[in-house]
Structures are given as structure tokens and as C-alpha cells.
Amino acid sequence: MKSYLILEDGLTFAGDAFGAQIAAAGEVVFNTGMTGYQEAITDPSYTNQLITFTYPLIGNYGVELSHNQAPTAGCAAVIVRQLAELPNHYAQQMNLDEFLQQQNVPGIQGIDTRQLTKHIRQHGTLKAILTTAPLVIPFADAYAAIQQKKAPLERATFTTPHAQQHVVLIDFGTKKAIIDQLLAQYCNVDVVPYTTSLAAINELRPDGIFLSNGPDDPADYQIALPLIQALQVKYPLAGICLGHQLLALANGAHTYKLQYGHRGLNHPVKDVATGKTILTSQNHGYAVAADSLANTPLQLTAFELNDHSVEGLRHESLPVISVQYHPEANPGPTDALGFFKEFCELMAVNKAKNSSVA
């Protein structure tokens, strides 16, 4: 079946439909990872976004459900040059086409993803509609009618044998890999929606607080800032991606929209203290404005080598750290896994301090 990708500026691509036979609308973004398509598709940070994979062959190792980053797919649609016809992996449970049908996510293949990516790089992130029928009403009307809704966030508890710490993860749309990394560091994890009250979080008696990744513009989450301000003075706290951006906003810094975002597995990040560069997995369309840090208690700990955007922050006096990139990888390199260890050390030091005062 034919499928059409229609951009808000009128540029239209015709290709072949796969996955679910439904229409989609959202921001069209590109991801440069050669692998990791399943983790990206199920990452809730991609909610309401159509992901273009720049690697030309996608789906070649099928899908194995344990790699899902959330119970349901986050993204609105998947755009590929070529869907692998004969995927092959010893652990694969289904192919990408079948997976997207199950997840109710439409796909398009056979379009020039290089041209599309160059267009986004030039014009910035654009809105788009994916449909199997050419539009007969104005773009804006069709867009509003099709755009998907977000799933509500729910409370959940994850435990690990020999746990040493207890973390409350404030959920803005968390990836499973963040929970997995905390469990691997011997942390029990209570996942709570970001609308949870301070009193309810205090009742859980956490050793530390983690702010998850998540979709949309960080400026849309003003409602969460007072909670973060209250939590950071009481507990060791760490944030990833959206969590990092919200920590910055809660401390008086600003965020801005990048022209076309960072989405890929090989973004070089330089650590200010050591001068060491690591490769990181990234997925964000917004960033913290470096010049807005001056009158805040936050210090820059890392920056991106391509565009010098802010990649890491630390509070000048509190045990509070954050990174814009994804240290949990999945997909991506594991150079930055030390972030979780650093957070656990902050919790251990704080615990020791509190018990010596008691």
C-alpha cells in the first residue's frame, strides 16, 4: 500500500506502508544510530515524534521484546529507506513490521531518507503527517485531528536482591534502561508520576531522587519545578535528559530548542574536570542555555564537542548532578555508565553523614 509523508512546508515523500495501517502526526526528527531501532521506537521521549532512521537498512536483526524501553511504543511513526526483508538474529521473536502492527505504529519505507534529513538540518525540525490517503483538508486541521495522546504514567516498584539504596524515580516517561542501571547498582526503585506530592515522596523514605527522561519541551513542565526545588535540598538528586533540563529550569537557568536535535549513538562529550572525551547516546531536541547558568548555583561539568552545548551540570553545594546525554545507553555506547555509580556514591556519603548526625 502507498503511504505519504507530508511535511508542514509542503514537501511530500511517497513510499510504501508497513506496520499499523493508521495515520500519524508529529515532529519529524532523525536518528543516526546504525542499531538500536527497537529501543528508540519504545523510548517514551519520542512521544508524538516520527523517527527517521538515517542508516539505510533497518529491521535487520528483528525484535526481541525484552529490549523494549517501555510497555508500549513511544514514537508516532517510523521512517526508513529500506525495511530488511529477511531479518536474522538467534533471539528474534518477530520482525519489525509485525512489531509495529502490534504496537499500532505506522511506518513508511522506500523514501529518500538522506534528502529528508538534509531538509530537516536546513529548515529545522518540522511537523509532518504520515498517511495512506493524500490530504484533502488543510495540513493544520489534519495535524490536529491525527496527533496521538500520551499514555498516563503509573506507579511501580522494582527491587533487587542485596539492595543498598532506595531511589524514587520521578517519571516523566522513563526508559527501562534507567531502572535497569539503578537496579544493577543495588538500588531498589520506586517509580512515581511527576505529579506526585512532596509528602508522598517523603513517605517513601528515599536515599536519593532520580529525574527521568521524557518527551516534549521542558518549558511545558512548570508544574514539576517546585517539587524539584524542594527535593534537591533534601535528597541527593540526579537527572537525565529531560530530568537534567528540568533541574536547570528549577535552578533559574533557561532551555532553548536546537535546530534539529541530537539523536544518535556517537555524540562526543568532553568532561570539564578531566578533559576526557567520551562517546554518548543522545536523544534530545532542547538544551540548557550555557549563558543562563551564570546566575544559578549550577556548574557546567560537560559539553558536546560538535556544537558546545551543555551536557552536564552539578550543584555548587548540594549533592545534585545531571547529564543531557543517556548514560544508560540502550541503544548506544556504555562510556558514561559511571554516572550511576557517582549518584550512588553521593547517596552513600549523604547516608553516612545523616547517620553520624543522628
* Catalytic machinery residues: 241, 326, 328
Nearer to ligand GLN, 119 or 284 (CB): 284
Q: How far is CA 315 from CA 204, 294, 301, in A?
A: 24, 12, 10
- Known binding residue 285? Answer is yes
- Which residues inside 218-247 make contact with ligand GLN, applying CB under 6 A? 241-242
- Known binding residue 214? Answer is yes
Nearer to ligand GLN, 108 or 242 (CB): 242
- Which residues inside 277-296 make contact with ligand GLN, applying CB under 6 A? 283-286
Of 10-18, 151-159, 161-169, 208-216: span binding ligand GLN (CB under 6 A): 208-216
Asked whether position 213 contacts ligand GLN by CB under 6 A, the answer is yes
Of 77-85, 148-156, 214-222, 333-341: span binding ligand GLN (CB under 6 A): 214-222
- Known binding residue 55? Answer is no
Cell numbers at 10, concatenated: 509542503
- Known binding residue 283? Answer is yes
Residue from 207, 216, 304, 311 touching ligand GLN (CB under 6 A): that is 216
- Known binding residue 354? Answer is no
Contact 25, 147 (CB under 8 A): yes
Count of residues engaged in binding ligand GLN, rule: CB under 6 A? 11
Residue from 45, 103, 117, 301 touching ligand GLN (CB under 6 A): that is 45
Nearer to ligand GLN, 20 or 79 (CB): 79
Nearest to 13 by CA among 117, 85, 91: 117
Which amino acids are annotated as binding site, given as ranges? 45, 214, 242, 245, 283, 285-286
Residues forming contacts to ligand GLN in the complex (CB under 6 A) are 45, 213-216, 241-242, 283-286
Question: Which amino acids are annotated as binding site for L-glutamine, given as ranges?
Answer: 45, 214, 242, 245, 283, 285-286
